[in-house]
């Protein structure tokens, strides 16, 4: 898991994503996406976000969404923070529709901003721990 070492088991963080089935034959690996549901885009992310908001209505979660394409637009409409991959369709849509977003090229940006958000939340007494690493990574 790419977040291993960043997110702890007691974090109030849930990651909703498609799964992947990896099969290896000798030195070759094949990746097959296993979709969460059967929407036209493989996973209707906005439905997952709306369900989370309803489930936790008394204490709404901060919804952070990371995407890049047309299939991510419905989720970007309902997320609190949107990361749109630089130069891709979701970023173009955000610009055209005047939707606030944070451009990203690699996951370092996402981790840095998420750490900053959690730093602010901790200062406000909403303790959500993501990492023990420095707030900003260089590179």
What pLDDT shows up at residue 135?
33
* DSSP notation for the chain: -TTBTTB-TTSS------EEEEEEETTEEEEEEE-SS-STTSS-HHHHHHHHHHHTTTSPPP-EEEE-SGGGHHHHHH-SEEEEETTSHHHHHHHHTT---EEESSHHHHHHHHHHHHHHHHHTT------SS-SS---
* Domain annotation covers residue 6: no
What pLDDT shows up at residue 127?
47
What pLDDT shows up at residue 63?
85
What pLDDT shows up at residue 47?
85
* Domain annotation covers residue 51: yes
- In terms of residue numbers, what domain contains 62? 19-123
CATH of the domain at 43: 3.40.50
What pLDDT shows up at residue 131?
35
What pLDDT shows up at residue 68?
93
Residues (pLDDT < 70) of the chain are 1-13, 39-42, 125-139
**Would the pTM of this model clear 0.95, i.e. be above it?**
no
* Domain annotation covers residue 2: no
């Amino acid at each position: 898991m790419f977040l291993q070492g960043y997110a702890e088991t007691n974090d109030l963080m849930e990651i909703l994503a498609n799964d992947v089935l990896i099969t290896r034959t000798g030195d070759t690996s094949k990746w097959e996406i296993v979709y969460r549901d059967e929407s036209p885009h493989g996973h209707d992310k906005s439905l997952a976000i709306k369900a989370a908001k309803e489930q936790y209505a008394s204490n709404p979660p901060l919804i952070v969404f990371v995407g890049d394409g047309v299939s991510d637009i419905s989720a970007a409409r309902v997320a609190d923070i949107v990361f749109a991959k630089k130069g891709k369709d979701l970023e173009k849509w955000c610009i055209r529709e005047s939707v606030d977003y944070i451009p990203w090229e690699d996951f370092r940006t996402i981790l840095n901003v998420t750490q900053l958000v959690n730093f602010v939340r901790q200062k406000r007494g909403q303790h959500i721990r993501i990492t023990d690493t420095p707030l900003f990574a260089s590179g």
